[in-house]
């Protein structure tokens, strides 16, 4: 039996942060040799919120370079850009026509982002989970690594696949395979530095809320120095009254690669004055090799482009074959 296939992506919306790394990219890197990995830059998703055209291409390059800098290895992983493969958009349309509107209206992320966009909420934002279903199902993956926040979207993907199989397949010959979620417990959710109850996010207007992967040591120091804490003495995990404390200890655990027990023992009698410099130093050291590799990769734009080209070729072959399968099942024919 061959390796199981996994698929995941990040939107090229800039400000790539510790949440994206610890909740997604680092996990892909750690598991990459066990799987056949398809990892993409979700640039069609990136325009569901207002975007700057001048930044889209730059952010796409940056993200491909960061994937490589974080340790994705082309021997195990195919890295590609979503918009380079038209099958994503085409399959989305086919799925749109079998997806009930109320499935999309109840998506939590839609409701949250729609509130932020006010009257300007666009159809793309509502349709985002259908595009995500197309992204996933085109590649027939066995597993999809998702953060807690994306679980509902993966369930919708499975519902769309079931509906399509019911309508256009037969029980012994389904058109699409149902993917399973791959959720890691620790670090599944990294929280904001300014509010331990909200997730760290690229679109938070406050730069102080997140540590970006490309932040300078001075910026990291400044952000940790100013991050929200509390007045309680001693530091411990999992206290619902102390979300910031739990988040900062978790960050230290994930970045230092120590166990939860070791961190709990090391920090139990510490005050913030002692802990913050420790977290600062650990964060700077953990990000240093990524930043160095990123600089080296970005010096060779031709290399980044060759990675995208190679990725497109491999991904397109699989995507167009799935698209053809779906179109044939739905009754489309191409007699020439």
Query: Using CB under 6 A, which of the segments 147-155, 237-245, 276-284, 324-332 binds ligand AQP?
Result: 147-155
Residue 113's H or E segment, with its range, is helix 108-117
260 is catalytic: no
At residue 10, the 3 state secondary structure works out as strand
d(CA 85, CA 266): 49
CB nearer to ligand AQP: give 195 or 266. Answer: 195
CB nearer to ligand AQP: give 11 or 77. Answer: 11
Closest distance of CB 19 from ligand AQP, Å: 3
**Should residue 23 be labelled a site residue for ligand AQP when binding is judged by CB under 6 A?**
yes
Q: Which of 55, 113, 143, 228 is catalytic?
A: 113
CB nearer to ligand AQP: give 165 or 282. Answer: 282
**Residue 87 and residue 323 in contact, taking contact as beta carbons nearer than 8 Å:** yes
CB nearer to ligand AQP: give 43 or 165. Answer: 43
Residue of 78, 150, 157, 256 that binds ligand AQP (CB under 6 A): 150
Residues touching ligand AQP, count (CB under 6 A): 18
Which residues, at least 6 apart from 145, have a Cβ–Cβ distance to it below 8 Å? 6, 8, 24, 27, 28, 31, 181, 182, 183, 184
Residue of 147, 179, 196, 311 that binds ligand AQP (CB under 6 A): 147
Residues 33-72 that bind ligand AQP (CB under 6 A): 42
- Strands annotated E in 106-210: 143-145, 180-182
CB nearer to ligand AQP: give 70 or 326. Answer: 70
**Should residue 199 be labelled a site residue for ligand AQP when binding is judged by CB under 6 A?**
yes
Closest distance of CB 324 from ligand AQP, Å: 28
d(CA 207, CA 128): 26
116 is catalytic: no
Q: Which of 151, 202, 222, 293 is catalytic?
A: 202
Question: Nearest-CA neighbor of 281 among 192, 205, 220, 212?
Answer: 220
202 is catalytic: yes
**Residue 165 and residue 100 in contact, taking contact as beta carbons nearer than 8 Å:** no
φ, ψ for residue 181, nearest 5 deg: -75, 150
Question: Nearest-CA neighbor of 157 among 196, 200, 107, 220?
Answer: 107
**Residues engaged in binding ligand AQP (CB under 6 A):** 10-11, 13, 19-20, 23-24, 42, 147, 149-150, 189-190, 199-203
| Residues labelled as active-site residues | 113, 199, 202
């Amino acid at each position: 039996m061959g390796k199981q296939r996994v698929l995941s992506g990040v939107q090229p919306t800039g400000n790539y942060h510790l949440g994206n790394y610890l909740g997604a990219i680092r996990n892909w890197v750690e598991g990459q040799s066990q799987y056949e990995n398809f990892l993409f830059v979700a640039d069609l998703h990136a325009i569901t919120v207002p975007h700057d055209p001048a930044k889209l291409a730059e952010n796409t390059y940056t993200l491909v370079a960061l994937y490589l800098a974080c340790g994705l290895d082309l021997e195990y992983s195919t890295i590609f850009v979503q918009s380079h493969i038209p099958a994503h958009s085409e399959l989305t349309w086919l799925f749109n026509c079998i997806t009930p509107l109320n499935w999309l209206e109840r998506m939590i992320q839609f409701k949250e982002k729609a509130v932020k966009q006010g009257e300007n909420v666009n159809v793309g934002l509502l349709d985002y989970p259908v595009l995500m279903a197309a992204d996933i199902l085109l590649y027939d993956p066995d597993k999809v690594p998702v953060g807690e926040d994306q679980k509902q979207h993966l369930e919708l993907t499975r519902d769309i696949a079931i509906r399509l199989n019911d309508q256009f397949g037969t029980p012994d010959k389904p058109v699409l395979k149902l993917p399973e979620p791959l959720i890691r417990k620790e670090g599944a959710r990294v929280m904001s530095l300014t509010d331990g109850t909200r997730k760290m996010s690229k679109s938070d207007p406050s730069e102080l809320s997140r540590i970006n992967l490309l932040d300078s040591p001075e910026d990291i120091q400044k952000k940790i120095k100013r991050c929200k804490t509390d007045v309680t003495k001693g530091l411990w995990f999992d206290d619902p009254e102390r979300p910031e404390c739990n988040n900062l200890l978790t960050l230290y655990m994930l970045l230092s690669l120590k166990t939860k027990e070791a961190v709990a023992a090391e920090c139990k009698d510490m005050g913030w004055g002692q802990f913050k410099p420790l977290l600062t130093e650990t964060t700077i050291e953990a990000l240093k090799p990524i930043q160095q590799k990123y600089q080296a990769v970005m010096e060779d734009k031709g290399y980044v482009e060759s990675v995208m080209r190679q990725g497109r070729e491999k991904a397109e072959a699989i995507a167009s074959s799935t698209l053809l399968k779906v179109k044939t099942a739905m009754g489309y024919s191409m007699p020439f």
